[in-house]
Amino acid sequence: MHLELPNIRLHSLKDFLKHYLMIVLSILTALGLEAWIEHAHHSHAAAEASRRMDEELGQVIGAIERSAAINRKELATLRSLDTMVASALADGADASEINRRIHARRADYQLNANWPTLSTVAWDVAVADQSAGWIDASALQHYSAAYTAERELSTWLQHDSTLVLDAPHLVDTLTDLQAGHPVDPYGFLRSLRQMEMMLDSEVSHLQGAARRIAPALHGTAAGSARAGD
């Protein structure tokens, strides 16, 4: 802030006080204008950051919902195959008959787990340029919770989602099916249930993440600058 003080001769106390008040008022006006400009800049930055995060989180929820729908469909196929084999075993069908039924549906034996694209670019930018600091505290809390849910889901998908699978056994079973070789019905059923458990757990985690992200998009994240700043 730069002020040009008047270069005039003062002839009385009244003149001094008059010019003193002018200087004080000029300084206060300049400070007020500077604060208003800064506040307007922060408000705009907060609103723009909120807009970007709203858009990004909306796309993430859409991706999660699509992945959950695909996984539910795949899970239904595996459960149908499971029911067929379990029923045949319960009815006392011999291994050759069960194999005939399994091979007739061998195309259904596959793990098509679908993972959503999880983006945190808008949040990372808001943190990097400090615009997140000017978002309303309540809204910021919802955004923070939403992106935490995203990161936790991403970590689970990448590291923990496949822990229930005996991957070598799944590959061996798939190889036997593709080659037309007979499979052990109980071993086949066990591998089916591993895949079912994985998909069921994945759908559950996807739905849980979506529920944690949703509050940031349901009017709680207005994106306004802090009141009074």
Q: Note the pLDDT of residue 188.
A: 97
Which tokens go with 218?
């349901």
CB 82 within 8 A of CB 228: no
| Residue type present at position 61 | I
**What is the pLDDT of the chain when averaged over all its residues?**
84
Q: Does a structural domain hold residue 2?
A: no
Between 112 and 32, residue with greater pLDDT: 112
Please indicate, yes or no, if residue 198 is contained in any of the structural domains. yes
Query: What burial letters (b/e) apply to 198-212, b meaning 16+ CB within 10 Å?
Result: bbbbbbebbeebbeb
Domain extent for 151: 13-217
pLDDT digits (tens, 9 = 90+) for 160-191: 999 999 999 999 999 999 999 999 999 999 99
111-164 confidence digits (pLDDT tens): 999 999 999 999 999 988 888 888 888 999 999 999 999 999 999 999 999 999
Model pLDDT, residue 129: 86
CA separation (Å) from 175 to 121, 181, 192, 195? 41, 8, 15, 16
Count the domains in the chain.
Answer: 1
φ, ψ dihedrals at 200, nearest 5°: -65, -45
- Report the C-alpha gap between 25 and 33 in whole angstroms: 12
CA distances 146 to 139, 185, 220, Å, are 11, 44, 12
Separation CA 218–CA 138 (nearest Å):
13
Interatomic CA distance for residues 70 and 158, integer angstroms: 18
What is the three-class DSSP state of 163? coil
How far is CA 148 from each of CA 143, 154, 216, rounded to the nearest angstrom?
A: 9, 10, 12
Is residue 66 one of the residues assigned to a domain?
yes
Q: If 0-12 CB within 10 Å is exposed, 13-18 middle and 19+ buried, where does residue 139 land?
A: buried
In a domain, 6, yes or no: no
23/3 Cα distance (integer angstroms): 9
Q: What's the rounded Cα separation, in Å, for the pair 138 and 222?
A: 9
